[in-house]
Amino acid sequence: MKRLVFAVGVLALGFAASTPARADFSVVRFELGFCRIWWNNGINPIGTGWTRVATAPDFTSAWTAQDAAVKKGKCK
């Protein structure tokens, strides 16, 4: 019985470690027109003068989205 419990524990740890970490990012446009990459951790920017321009699954994609928003004139 101890071996079974140990095996189940090892499998549970293995599955927990193998799930990919998820870190979503957003490109946020502030009131003055400049944009920044914001990590979606449940805490929004302070104040009311901001809007989400784009969302991305990783930082590199967020950087590309911010670059595209600047080229389109959405951000400074």
Distance, CA of 18 to CA of 59 (rounded, Å) = 21
Torsion of CA 60, 33, 45, 68, to 10 degrees: -20
Predicted local distance difference test score (pLDDT) of residue 47: 86
Contacts of 61 (CB under 8 A, 6+ apart): 25
Confidence tier at 44 by pLDDT (50, 70, 90): confident
Q: Which of 25, 22, 29 is nearest to 59 (CA)?
A: 25
Rounded to two decimals, the pTM is 0.65
CA 27 to chain centroid, in Å, comes to 10
Predicted local distance difference test score (pLDDT) of residue 21: 57
Confidence tier at 16 by pLDDT (50, 70, 90): low
